[in-house]
A and B are shown apart, each in its own frame.
Chain A
Amino acid sequence: MGSKLGLIIKREYLAKVRNKSFIVMTILSPILIVGMIVLIAYLTKVNDSEKRIVAIFNESGFLEQEFKTNENMSFVQFRDISLEEAKDSTSTKGFYGLLHLPEASNLEETSKLAYLYTKDNPNTQITQQLEGIFQRKLRKDRLGNLGVSSQQFSTIEKPFELNLATFEGEKSVKGITEIKAFIGGAFGYAIMMFIIIYGTFVMRSVIEEKTSRIIEVIISSVKPFQLMLGKIIGTSLAGITQFVIWLISASGLLLLVVLLMGIDFMALVQEVQSTPGAMNGMSQFSSVLGKDSLLYVREIVNIPWLLLISSFLLYFMLGYLIYSSIYAAIGAAVDNETDTQQFVFPVILPLMLAIYVGFFSVFSNPHGPIAVGFSLFPLTSPIVMLMRLPAGIGEGGVPLWQLLLSIVLLVATFLAIVSLAAKIYRVGILMYGKRPTYKELIKWLRY
């Protein structure tokens, strides 16, 4: 019996690994991903290097020294022409805009009458920067009127940051909760992607056996449960192979690209982290990276990696087995892939929920009631619990009882779902014809 399971696993594995589209995906994906990263980095660079030139037509004599070229703006000065001429030459020379400071008795008046002329609606960043220049000068001026010297002014302007420490007295840094949740989230996200991709592969493989009508030949030799299990294991081994290949080739490629193109690696990391979806903490992270990077490194090293990776493997295995047996049952229940939609959606729902709940509630409060609830509920726990775990177990982290309870619930659900799915599978693989309803599926459980 055992050797039959081995045979099935081997066949499923080879069938998957030898599949042309699988090979193409395996080879192309890392290239695509690295290509995307490179493209993003390149575009960012191009974007940054594009300096906007703003023409200054200053008739007031105020603010003369304040417009200084920075990383995304530079200035040219127009003098002794009319406003209309200034506008004309701004647009003919292709400058970004024209800032007009009319003559007035003081800075307040000039500022009130100042206009920025642009072709289209001006970029927020540009207007903010220009406004900042006015603002600072106005403040200094107003404070000067109140008798504050410019030396005193620079003292006032010194930035302030709150010092952070844990109760144990260790100095801590901003955003570390988010970083931890982000690392956990990456694990959870990997689980979700793996379940959806390889669960669908399992489902397709079941449908293929049904439509090619080989199924009855096979189950006259092996138990349907063996076939289902062999299929799930074989497909996941193929998936793990693919993941490992991706991991190795993507990191190799990335390294190669970094070396060849001399891309500023730190800028790249920041860019990846501040792409949409990242939290506020991330940008804070980037801004303080230079100063406190040692602290961050220490915190990241302090994450309980062994616990995290071993629970990743456990949650991954159980979660994948639960979901892929549901996928197998769906494949058995229908005759073709178009009929699967109705059944697949409720399966993906808890996964999506886990990811979103994870990103929203675990990030803000890793041990709040919602985070706890979803990390115990077996259909979402593989993802949500992993997001909480980087904080460790015990004080300040996940209470041990929660971790154990969540694993117990997961194992119990695993046993229940697999046996139900196996029943539906056993009946479904021999049923052809119309798509069954949920009611019929429940009936099958009793056949």
Chain B
Amino acid sequence: MKKLLLPLLPLILLLPLGGCSHALVRVKPYERGNLAKPVMLESMDPLQTAMTEHAYFSREAGFGGGGVGGGGCGCN
């Protein structure tokens, strides 16, 4: 019995992994309606984002600001 089970062991161990397979987990292109909703946007309020980024850039400009190259006095 042991001899019979041993070759089958990797197969048995691998079976649950099938559930993680690409085809089963992936959200299909036609199922992306909910992901396309405005509520899923990274920034829901563009003005708020712009203001926050401006404040961050002004404060942290010496450090490099919001991803912009170089430093500065932060007086823009």
The answer to whether A binds B is no
Chain A interface residues (CB < 8 Å from chain B): none
